[in-house]
A and B are shown apart, each in its own frame.
Chain A
Amino acid sequence: MHWLAEVHVALRSGIADPEGQTIGSALRSLGYATVTEVRSGKLMRIAFEAVDHAAAEDAVTEMCLRLLANPVLETASWDLRADEQQDAEEALP
């Protein structure tokens, strides 16, 4: 089965985020005076194959632990869904 994972990597709370702070002050200077905080992060869309949902979850967990997020600084969360379109295309004769 084909799967799509959207992995969100965010800085842990308490880790200073100068990029987010700079974006926040830019927004305020554009007139969005009510902006109190911006935290920056990364979004990665990963297409891959796994036999079932549990195996896909395990794979994403491992990807995050080994490479996608540095546990010293970051946390990772993700949305995982079956890529039915890709599965359907592959099922065509």
Chain B
Amino acid sequence: MTLVTRHPRVAVAVFPGTWSERDFAHVARTVLGWEASLLWHTETDLGGPDAVVLPGGFAHGDHLRTGAVARFSPIMRAVEAFAAAGGPVIGSCNGFQILTEAGMLPGALMRNDHLEFRCDWQALRVERPSAAEAWLGDFADGDVIRLPISHGEGRYVADSVTLDELERNGRVVLRYADADGQVTADANPNGSERGIAGIVNAGGNVLGLMPHPERAAEPEVGGVDGLRLFRSLERWLQARPAAAERRL
């Protein structure tokens, strides 16, 4: 077995109206020394990355519904194939909305219940992180972390059958909470069902979350909890040299 020592490579999808791609690339390149490529949404080849990022913003102006048009961008065929092969994919904010519209994650994100855009630091409770090991492997069940949120349409909605199934299979991995980790109505910034802030697919490799881990990766910006998602990915990749080599 050859030890893979190279740095992770992430591909960051860029749609017309995306706004968080440079923050993700900054964290990957400058903070962590990884490689990051920004790929325009018309690309059909991801270039063999270790992980794919669908960043936040307003892809295609969020017209019709958030993510509704972006899911038909050519790059999404490649992202779907990458995810189907077990590749780690993270969709943050608008990226989460795109993942639900594409059917890669269940449910939908709707207008916040108070109709306001909410930009703030938010406490989150991590639950059963082993279900999303590639992205949350560094966390323990019940950890309380702080990440920025920045959205007007983050109210997670799904029918009760879907919600029960997600809960039963441990696929709800992040919930809005107070500083003590209690999931309460007051701590819920948008009216999401059951306080859901992040879910993972059945395969455990596709994570969707409304908060922005890339905006909490340096002490200068007020927190570093977001960096732990990147560290989780790095360790997950290191533990799978065969998978990493296959993509070399």
Residues of A within 8 A of B (CB): 15-16, 18-19, 22, 67-68, 70, 72-73
Contact = CB atoms under 8 A, between A and B. Distances in A.
Contact of B65 (A15, A19, A70): A70
A25 to B, nearest CB: 11
Contacts of B65: 70
B164 to A, nearest CB: 15
Contact of A73 (B106, B108, B113, B115): B108
22 contacts: A15-B110, A15-B157, A16-B113, A16-B191, A18-B111, A18-B112, A18-B114, A18-B115, A18-B191, A19-B111, A22-B115, A67-B68, A67-B69, A67-B72, A68-B64, A70-B68, A70-B101, A72-B106, A72-B108, A72-B157, A73-B108, A73-B157
B113 A18 contact: yes
Contacts of A72: 100, 106-108, 157-159
A26 to B, nearest CB: 12
Interface in B83-142: 100-101, 106-108, 110-115
Interface of B: 64-65, 68-69, 72, 100-101, 106-108, 110-115, 157-159, 191
A73 B110 contact: yes
Contacts of A19: 111, 115
A15 B100 CA distance: 17
Closest 7 CB pairs of A and B: A72-B108, A18-B113, A73-B108, A18-B115, A70-B108, A70-B65, A22-B115
